[in-house]
Amino acid sequence: MATDLATELLGLRLRNPLILAAGILGISGHTLRRVAESGAGAVVTKSYGVEPRVGYPNPTVVEVTGGLMNAMGLPNPGVAELKEEIVEAKKAGVPVIASIYGCSGADYAEAAEIASSAQPQAIELNVSCPHVKEVGAQIGQDADAVESITRSVKAKIRIPVIVKLTPNVTNIAEIAKSAQSGGADAITAINTLKALAIDPDMMRPILAAGMGGLSGPAIKPVALRCVYEIKKAVDIPVIGCGGIMNWRDAVEFILAGASGVQIGTALMYKDLMVFKDIEEGLRDFLARKGMNTLAELCGLALAA
């Protein structure tokens, strides 16, 4: 039997477990389609809310040791605009996941309902942006809010709901359990880590918004720890996200129990080839280990 990277996730069949993370190349259907055609197994859109948002002024991104910091401020044209982007993205033939945000259960439910009318294959609830007040990590740090928002969304839509969590909490496993109690079908772990960069010459924070979210290789061990802790606490699938740059990183997340991995910052360093590169590396790794499927690898490190 040949090595097969196909992954069963949320009742969907992904040709491989490599998913474009929210926020990178995800605002337009054309870029989503390009990413899908470059080898991703599924793609996640930028986070959309009920109302349009301009986002923060520049600078919104800065490179730091070990990765990038961003404070984009959720720029998006409003979820009503998402439909044509999803229609375009779906032409590539891989699952499209719509990321949405809000500031209350009613808000999330409305955004989810509008987004699902565009027929994405799943919805990802962003309850974890580290630097936009009221619509981000403030929700994701509150276990009761995560549970009730998830429940409100599940009551409104039929497609699978993924909840993307923030690492900026004391006990991420408890938050994951709340998402599961609210009816989440899967968890994505993690969003960016709240961080600060200061320019010594300017004597002020570099990003216009002050604080930002750190992504990239610097956060990989934190993300891996979160996936491991969550997987031990819940029964639903976990999607790993945070600093995955190559096939070895992807293998580590799968060993920690991830059923799929999201890739974002690596695109800034490695371009769209990253999906094919990681796919090839994963295939070779499985063959070297005498395994045929990713399911054989998933969670093996949890027993240790």
List the catalytic residues.
129
Of residues 176 through 195, those in contact with ligand RRO by CB under 6 A are 191-192
Is residue 140 a contact point for ligand RRO (CB under 6 A)?
A: no
Beta-bridged to residue 53, according to DSSP, are: 76
Question: What single DSSP character describes residue 148?
Answer: H
Q: Which of 29, 49, 120, 213 binds ligand RRO (CB under 6 A)?
A: 213
Stretch that binds ligand RRO, among 10-18, 65-73, 155-163, 261-269 (CB under 6 A): 65-73
Strands (E), 170-257: 186-189, 193-195, 198-199, 204-205, 212-215, 238-241
Say how many CA atoms lie within 13 Å of 65 toward its Cβ.
1
Q: Which of 16, 70, 116, 262 binds ligand RRO (CB under 6 A)?
A: 70
- Residue nearer to ligand RRO on the CB measure, 47 or 148: 47
For residue 190, whether the previous peptide bond is cis, meaning omega lies within 30 degrees of 0, is yes
Q: Which of 21, 97, 129, 234 binds ligand RRO (CB under 6 A)?
A: 129
b/e 101-118 (16+ beta carbons within 10 angstroms → b): bbbebebbbbbbbbbbeb
Q: Which of 47, 178, 180, 265 binds ligand RRO (CB under 6 A)?
A: 47
How far apart are the C-alpha atoms of 88 and 94, rounded to whole Å?
Answer: 11
- Residue nearer to ligand RRO on the CB measure, 62 or 300: 62
Is residue 175 a contact point for ligand RRO (CB under 6 A)?
A: no
Q: Which of 23, 67, 120, 243 binds ligand RRO (CB under 6 A)?
A: 23
Is residue 74 a contact point for ligand RRO (CB under 6 A)?
A: yes
Do residues 62 and 206 make contact, with C-beta atoms less than 8 angstroms apart?
A: yes
- Residue nearer to ligand RRO on the CB measure, 121 or 262: 262
b/e 270-286 (16+ beta carbons within 10 angstroms → b): eebebbebbbebbbebb
- The footprint of ligand RRO (CB under 6 A) covers 23, 47, 70-74, 126, 128-130, 191-192, 213
